[in-house]
Amino acid sequence: MLQAFKARDMDWKSGKVWCYVYDAGEDPSEITKKAYMSFLSENGLDPSVFPSILKLETDVVRMVINLLRGDSNAVGHLTSGGTESIMLAVKSARDKARVEKPHITYPEMIVPRNAHAAFHKAAHYLCVKPVVVDLDPKSLTVRASDMEETINENTILLVASAPSYSQGMIDPIKEIGAIAKRHNLLFHVDGCVGGLHLSFMRKMGYEVPDFDFTVDGVTSISTDLHKYGYAAKGCSVIMYRDRSIRKYQIFACTDTTGYTLINPTVLSSKSGGPMAGAWAVLNFLGEEGYKKIIQKVQDATKDLMDGINAMDDLYVLGKPAMSMFSFASDSMNVYQLADEMGKRGWYLQGQFSTSQMPRNLHLSVSQGNAGNTDVLLKDLSECVEIVKSKPPIDSDAIKSMIAGALQSPDPEAAFNHLADSAGLSGTALPSEMAFINEVLDNLPDEFCNMFLVNYFNDLYV
């Protein structure tokens, strides 16, 4: 029955899914599964009961800290994923400010437009205002000077990415670090997707700007192991330059009739499985194994970007730093292109436009899909021609519908009607996304978010 539930799932084992899954190959995966299952029931809640979990965590964290060139003072913890790691970095900054800057009653953090949505989620949960800074339209990274101009008396944290997920560019970490030092601010680098991959690229001789603990001013870094570390989900690392910052992450409670609760991370009970899986794959692959994977992935990435840029109707956005990039088109609707590719078993991730960025499709190249570059480029070229031969989605009509809904005396009813027409209602998942994405892309963010919340509220029943 469980296998039958997967009937509509994308077949990631075929190497046609270009996000979400990072497959290291059969041997590492088998080792990871065995390690994971051997610690499935052990609970990371209390290290005095399961000291093995403490050993796994400290070993893995120290390996990653060393790779990110932290010294013996650097510390960290394993989390369930990048979102939890980012949440903890924001919590630490907020709680540190409460103690050291009690005059700040409305804390703010400065985030570039390309920062991951997890920062906005953390801001929402923790009552920290996200102050968004737009990107340089040429480099598609934030300008350090723009971030500095945004600092005010309520700022508690600066944020940058190495690289950003959406287009794969590294923000100017050194320059922002200097600003953080000048203004006595914490500075978090989101290395969730790039921390391991970029570090090994640097070791292999690729030109990679400093983004880690060697940069003065960087106070915390998040790095996922279940992405380009090829560990099992969910496992990430949140690291701090020293214990004086990390202590604000930890929660303790003796205020109840129950057992003493001490949580270094958001979760209390947590399986030892992901920790053991990460420990196993890091030791199994080792530096040599990771370097082999990264060379294969970087070669495939170059072939893909060159092939896409050679097509008249498509172009890669910016100059990506590693194996993540996105591409756009000035002559066709890329959401329709994604649907057409989907009919051939491919999953390319659609991303909405902004005032500085056209709508685009994202690819994360990894070991599991790097061998499919030629087939992808062939199908992509053919699907471009198919989409060009079809009538385009009437964007003007959609904009008129949205404008009418915004001016309606009963906007909620109008938007519910619009949601129905876009396929964002009911409990069934849509088979094609182009029209839905077109509607969402033309909506103001606040209404787009409302649509998605309502849709998911109805979907999970």
Specify if 325 maps to a domain: no
Domain containing 440 equals 395-459
Token pair for 402? 């949205």
Residues 266 and 408 occupy one common structural domain: no
Domain boundary among 231, 259, 281: 281
Token pair for 190? 């989101």
Specify if 9 maps to a domain: no
For residue 386, the model assigns a pLDDT of 97
For residue 369, the model assigns a pLDDT of 96
Specify if 351 maps to a domain: no
Specify if 273 maps to a domain: yes
- Sites in the chain below the pLDDT cut of 70: 411
Residues 269 and 403 occupy one common structural domain: no
User: How many structural domains comprise the chain?
Assistant: 2
Measured in whole angstroms, the distance separating CA 2 from the mean position of its chain's CA atoms is 28
Residue 131's Cβ-side half-sphere holds a number of Cα atoms within 13 Å equal to 18
Specify if 13 maps to a domain: no
Specify if 370 maps to a domain: no
Domain boundary among 281, 316, 334: 281
Residues 43 and 187 occupy one common structural domain: yes
Task: List the CATH number of the domain containing 182.
Answer: 3.40.640.10
Answer yes or no: are the C-beta atoms of 333 and 387 closer than 8 Å: yes
Domain boundary among 281, 296, 329: 281
Cα separation, 235 vs 249, whole angstroms: 17
For residue 78, the model assigns a pLDDT of 98
For residue 355, the model assigns a pLDDT of 86
pLDDT digits (tens, 9 = 90+) for 320-340: 999 999 999 999 999 999 999
Residues 399 and 274 occupy one common structural domain: no
Nearest to 156 by CA among 113, 111, 115, 114: 111
Specify if 296 maps to a domain: no
Residues 206 and 62 occupy one common structural domain: yes
Residues 274 and 412 occupy one common structural domain: no
Specify if 297 maps to a domain: no
pLDDT digits (tens, 9 = 90+) for 350-382: 999 998 899 999 999 999 999 999 999 999 999
